[in-house]
Structures are given as C-alpha cells and as structure tokens.
Chain A
C-alpha cells in the first residue's frame, strides 16, 4: 500500500517538557488513523507538527516522500485540516468563505468546486447566508467542506465532533466516512470519543504523556494487550 505520510522519531519539547517523544508511524492511501489519549497526551501537538504549525525539536515528517519543512507550500496543497476549535469568518457568506480558500488552493473552476462542496455537505441552500447564521453542527460541516475543497490526499481532523450533539456528531462522522472512502483520502483524526474512534478508524494510535503506547488495528491491539474492548485498553495504556 502506498505511503502518504511518514513520521520518524518526531520529538517536540517546550523547554524541559516534551510533548512528543520519538513518535514514529506511517499513513497509507485511504487509511483512517484515530489518535487517542488523555488531555495533555500530545494529540494536538502532533496534529500541529503535521500541519507545519509547530517545528519539531527532532525527527522527520515526510508527505509523499518529501520533507514537510522544505516543501511546505507544495505539500500543503494536497493536505487539509478541520477542527472544532477553528472557524471561518462569520461576516462572510458560506460561498464567499469557500471561494477564498478555493483561490488559496489554486483550484480550477473555483465556483463549481465550491458549489459541489456545499452540496456534499448539505449547505448549498444556505450558500448566500452569512456564516454567523449557522449552528455549531453546520459550522463544522462548513469547515469540513473547506477541508475537502482541494480534494486532499491527507486530511487532518482535530476533534471534529467535539461539542456536537450525538445526532449531529453521527451525521458528521458519516459525511467524513463516505467522502474519504469514496475519494481514498488518508485521514488522521483525534478524538476523546472512543466508540467513534473504534467505529471509523482502520488503525489507532494511543498517546500518553507524549509517548506512543500502541499503534495498530483495534482487534490486534485488544488481542496483544488482553483487553476486552477499546475502553479497557485505553485505561490500561493511556491513563
């Protein structure tokens, strides 16, 4: 299987505190990797490093066999990101917001692509509305539409369903799953919701205090560590 992301011994220290310690893993085409761990485990630092927002203290991050920090702009054309903690300008309409990013990602036929993305996420009818009129679930869908606008080969999602009610979270998961399976997008996502992680991940990565505690398919990890379910495994390894 083709590798789209290779992380080698990634370490990030803030002064004396190391948020990530020699993390190594790879991500393959169309694979969904769920990252779990308690607060302060290093999940968000990992995502931020993978996005080039935080420079690692040591280690390597290579997308498509190219080093992220030497080919940042070229790589980020094929990568995208959404988070429940990041929004889009509220005073712009949905269409305007996406058009801005369509130009940033140098998309061909930007208007057509924006319309397509809005339709995919059920927001087409609201395209002329100001973004401030959206509910939090709709805002997350708009952020996902932005994140998939450039048909990324790698999608990074930081707690995409945090703060959403169970029904909207379920719909959001379905949208992510159906789109990424169809387009063969590789996904890394962080979440505190273990059943969500189990449901949509091909593999999971468990972090604890910046250290990689386990990496693999849920069924393999349960067998390896003798746990009944992911929750038991999580408490065994991450707490």
Chain B
C-alpha cells in the first residue's frame, strides 16, 4: 500500500469539503440531529416509563405521520433533483411548461408518494403490530394535509437552495426536513423539550399534529384549536416558501445559472 496515494484520496475529499459549506455542515448536522432526537426520546421514556400504556401507538403513529411529511417534501425536492441528475432540467425549462405548472406536477408526484407510503406503513403497522392508524378517525385528514403542506414548504425552500447554490445543496433534500424532527415532537411531547425549544416548536405546524395525535390516542379527544393554528402557520410558510422560490428562480434567470445547474 502506498501511503502517498492513500493521502491523495484524503486530499481529494478535503479539497471538496474546503469549498463546500453544505458538506461541512453535513458532518455536524446528522450527529447533532441524532443526539437531540434520541436524547429527548430517552428523557421522555425515563419520565413516563411507568405511566405510558400507549407508547407503541405513539411511536408507530408518529413514525407513519412523520413519513407523510418526508414523502411530501421529497416528492418536490428529490423529483427536482431527478431532473437535474438526468440533465433534463433544461429541456423542461425551455418548453412551454410554466414554473407554476412544473411545481403543480411535482406536488402531484408528492401526493402519489404520500398515498403509497401511508398505505404501506399503515398496512404493515396493522398486520405486524396491531396498530391501526385509522383510530385517529376524522382528524387523520387534516393531520395529513397539514404535514403535506409543511413538507411542500420545506421542499420549496430546498429547491430554491438548489437553484441558488447548485447541486452542492442537494444534501438539503434529505437533511432540511430532519431539522424539524426534534422540535416537531414526533416521538415525545413538546413538554419534554427545554423551554427555548418549546418556544421554537410553537412555530412548527407539525408539533401541533403530533401533540394532537397523542391526545386522541391517550384521551380520545380531538382539539381543533391547535390544528387551526398549524393550518395558519402552514399557509404562511407555503406562501413564504413559494415567494422565495420564485425570487430565486428570477435571480437565476438574471444570473444565467439555470443552464449550469448539474454541471
């Protein structure tokens, strides 16, 4: 083995990371998210070990609903990346397709992905663990719609980042949604979080969905109030992310960066 050649391989990666903020961020990002998430789960389990008869339902319900948000987000951002990877984006952007039509098409893709993921996970949860997601009753639809809306908003921000920073930002297609995981209180209640993060969670629509889910499983009560707040926040985020995407798209036309994406 030639150590110099081994060093050359290391050097090649270091050169890559030296100029790539997103790659450097990636090194710190996943360990931080993992630590926060599982740290809070452990805290919750410690506190509620004796009085938590529904923990399987909480976890499985949380997992299924969280996947809805992920699929909705990736339906936009990963589909956009697929066109970049296939060097097909230019063909689409020089066609009569408007940017709004393109986004609408991607939203349809994400709906298909959400439906498939929901059916597969819901069926497996029922067959393997006896957990029926439909115990959430009529609240399930507004829960799903709210998670999709947040997923689309995150997806649009991801797409805007890719348009602005190029393919280097593609890691965000997987990473950005996970930033919301610890403060969405998917696997534990918001009250487990430190006060500052609780404050942050109050601005995250998905936290109301997961709190609502736990309330239904535990007490059989559906509270529409928090869900209205989630819907209002989602509306704001959708409008904001759409405007951001359009602004970045127009800037890309000015800067002439669209033909260079994927190079």
Contact = CB atoms under 8 A, between A and B. Distances in A.
A72 B93 CA distance: 11
Contacts of A77: 96
Contacts of B254: 54-55
A88 B90 contact: no
Contacts of A53: 90, 93-94, 253, 256, 258-259
A74 B87 contact: no
A45 to B, nearest CB: 7
Interface string A114-131: 000000000000000000
A14 B92 contact: no
B93 to A, nearest CB: 6
Interface stretch (A28-36, A78-86, A161-169, A186-194): A78-86
Given A81-B91, A86-B91, A146-B91, A74 B256 contact: no
- Counting chain A CB atoms within 10 Å of each CB, which of B83, B87, B96 scores highest? B96
A90 interface: yes
A14 B86 CA distance: 27
A79 B258 CA distance: 19
Interface in B96-135: 96-98
B31 to A, nearest CB: 34
A179 interface: no
Contact of A54 (B96, B98, B256): B256
A134 interface: no
Interface string A88-116: 11110000000001001110000000000
Nearest to A81: B94
Nearest to A15: B255
A53 B89 CA distance: 11
Nearest to B98: A73
Given A85-B87, A87-B87, A76 B258 contact: no
B26 interface: no
A87 B86 contact: yes
Contact of B86 (A45, A73, A88, A104): A88
Contacts of A73: 96-98
Nearest to A51: B94
Nearest to B255: A14
Contacts of B83: 89
Interface in B41-68: none
B20 interface: no
Interface residues of B, number: 21
A81 B255 CA distance: 21
B253 A54 contact: yes
B96 A74 contact: yes
B138 interface: no
B259 A48 contact: yes
A48 B87 contact: no
A12 B258 CA distance: 15
A29 to B, nearest CB: 21
Contacts of A91: 86
A48 B256 contact: yes
A38 interface: no
A52 interface: yes
Contact of A76 (B87, B96, B255, B256): B96
Interface string A34-64: 0000000000110010011111000000000
A32 B88 CA distance: 26
B55 to A, nearest CB: 41
Given A86-B88, A87-B88, A104 B253 contact: no
24 contacts: A44-B259, A48-B256, A52-B94, A52-B253, A54-B253, A54-B254, A55-B250, A55-B253, A55-B254, A72-B96, A76-B95, A80-B94, A81-B94, A85-B87, A86-B87, A88-B86, A88-B91, A89-B88, A90-B86, A101-B91, A104-B95, A104-B97, A105-B95, A106-B96
Given A54-B256, A90-B86, 16 more contacts: A45-B256, A48-B259, A52-B253, A53-B256, A54-B253, A54-B259, A72-B98, A77-B96, A79-B94, A83-B90, A86-B90, A86-B91, A89-B82, A101-B91, A104-B92, A146-B91
